[in-house]
Amino acid sequence: MGSVPGPAAGTTDAQTTPTPPPDAVGRGNGGAVPAPPGHVALIMDGNGRWAMARGLPRAAGHSAGAEAVRRCVHAAISRGVGYLTLYAFSSENWRRTPDEVADLTSLLRYYLRHKVAELSREGVRIRIIGDLSRFDDDVRAEAKRAEDVTAGNRRLTLVLALSYGGRADIMQAARHVALAVRDGALDPERLDEALFGRFLLTADLPDPDLIIRTSGECRLSNFLLWQSAYAELVFLDTLWPDFNEQHFDAALDVFARRERRFGARPSL
């Protein structure tokens, strides 16, 4: 059996403990522009329905959705968001037809090969989470290259969740914890939420402050289940290919008006 990965180097308990944003007035209310959420995560839903409504193949919806990703990244940068996580390919997406899976992986391969340099010039660091073993060798190689090429950038960390599932993430963390206990590397009495979080695929990332889902669906669909415990959830009726900076701002407005108490009593 291979070595058991322990907590990610350089992580601290503070990285897994949410902290409320400073008080602020929402956009357009005559007050100061509020501080943005530090970490925004998106469930990008509606590509197929967008294409169907236009009599187009589903592949056209995925291509249009890729353009929405570009708009979203630029919006995050311009609004000062530090982390942006995109649910780009879920573990359940492998159940789709072989043709659609091929379309999705082909689009992913194209963007990893041809768009990383542009993102790097904008100061974007790419992080990838998920079970990449299910992708072809060339996709895995491009994913690693994207992370390596952009590793020094600090303007925005763009996290791509590829072949990712929240339950699988928790399960792999539990296995690693069990192995660490078995091997004497971890005292089970020391295990708490913060330490467990270091075994997740997101160990070096802060938990999301805001999760946005498009297309009118109101569920997480196995996305960042542990990490979303205190996230604010915003559901938009907009189909993902139509998502733009105005929709991004609308979600930030909702977030700014929410009171995040993390279990404490509401302020008076």
Residue 80 labeled ligand binder: no
Q: 179 in a domain, yes or no?
A: no
Domain that holds residue 43: 35-170+207-256
Q: 147 in a domain, yes or no?
A: yes
Looking at the chain, the whole-number percentage of residues with pLDDT higher than 90 is 83
Q: 24 in a domain, yes or no?
A: no
Q: 120 in a domain, yes or no?
A: yes
Residue 115 is classified by DSSP as S
Q: 63 in a domain, yes or no?
A: yes
Residues 212, 215, 217, 221, CA torsion sign: negative
Residue 91 labeled ligand binder: yes
Residues 181, 187, 189, 193, CA torsion sign: negative
Residue 90 labeled ligand binder: yes
Q: What is the pLDDT of residue 34?
A: 78
> How does the average pLDDT of the chain come out, rounded?
88
Residue 267 labeled ligand binder: no
Judged against a pLDDT cut of 60, whether residue 11 lies above it is answered with no
Residue 145 labeled ligand binder: no
Residues designated catalytic: 45, 93
**Distance, CA of 23 to CA of 256 (rounded, Å):** 8
Q: 134 in a domain, yes or no?
A: yes
Contacts of 267 (CB under 8 A, 6+ apart): 259, 261
Residue 3 labeled ligand binder: no
Find the distance separating the first CA and the last CA of the chain, reported in whole Å: 56
- Residue 66 belongs to domain with CATH number: 3.40.1180.10
Q: Is 120 exposed, middle or buried (0-12, 13-18, 19+ CB in 10 A)?
A: middle
Q: 137 in a domain, yes or no?
A: yes
Q: What is the pLDDT of residue 268?
A: 56
Residue 65 labeled ligand binder: no
Give the residue from 151, 190, 160, 167 showing the smallest Cα distance to 44.
Answer: 160
Q: 124 in a domain, yes or no?
A: yes
Task: For residue 235, give the amino acid letter.
Answer: F
187-246 pLDDT tens trace: 999 999 999 999 999 999 999 999 999 999 999 999 999 999 999 999 999 999 999 999
CA distances from 239 to 50, 94, 222, 243 (A): 6, 21, 19, 7
Residue 219 labeled ligand binder: yes
Confidence class for position 32, pLDDT limits 50, 70, 90: low
Residue 182 labeled ligand binder: no
Domain count across the chain: 1
Q: What is the pLDDT of residue 19?
A: 39
**Distance, CA of 70 to CA of 88 (rounded, Å):** 13
Strand partners, 127: 159
Q: What is the pLDDT of residue 17?
A: 37
119-131 pLDDT tens trace: 999 999 999 999 9
Judged against a pLDDT cut of 60, whether residue 12 lies above it is answered with no
